Amino acid sequence: MSRTRFTRAVYAAVRRIPPGTVATYGQIAAAVGHPRAARAVGTALARLPRHLANQVPWHRVVGASGISARDDPERAATQREKLIDEGVAVTAGGRIRRDRSR
């Protein structure tokens, strides 16, 4: 199975994100001990299994410029709506207000 220690650490870190708050991939990567592995965080979440998607608030993880979702625009829309539903201020461009991130 592909879920490595790193991946599990990422899931754990994402789970620790407080509601109504978003974290960047860089922050997650740094949280698991790999400040330069933002990309790995992306792939790990991209291959996030459904059963884990239920317990991991992946929608709280955004890119440095907000929601990225270069692979699936639908995902971006879902993520944006979920964030808005949680009270996160997401602009029309998919960017997050600085007081909610960082």
Partner DNA sequence: GGTCTGACATATT
Partner DNA sequence: GAATATGCCAGAC
Residue 12 near DNA by CB under 7 A: no
Distance CA 34, CA 40 (A): 9
Distances in Å between the Cα of 98 and the Cα atoms of 22, 64, 88, 90 are 10, 11, 10, 10
Residue 3 near DNA by CB under 7 A: yes
Residue 38 near DNA by CB under 7 A: yes
Decide whether 3 or 100 has the Cβ nearer to DNA: 3
Please tell me what DSSP assigns to residue 2: -
Among 13, 17, 22, 41, binds DNA (CB under 7 A): 41
Give residue for tokens 């459904």.
Answer: 50
Question: How far is CA 55 from its chain centroid?
Answer: 13
Q: Any residues with CB less than 8 A from the CB of 30 and at least 6 apart, and which?
A: none
Residue 42 near DNA by CB under 7 A: yes
Per-position x/- string for 45-84, each x denoting binding to DNA as judged by CB under 7 A, each - no binding: xxxx---------xx-x-xxx--xxxx---x---x-----
Where does this chain bind DNA (CB under 7 A)?
2-4, 6-7, 24-26, 29, 34, 36-48, 58-59, 61, 63-65, 68-71, 75, 79
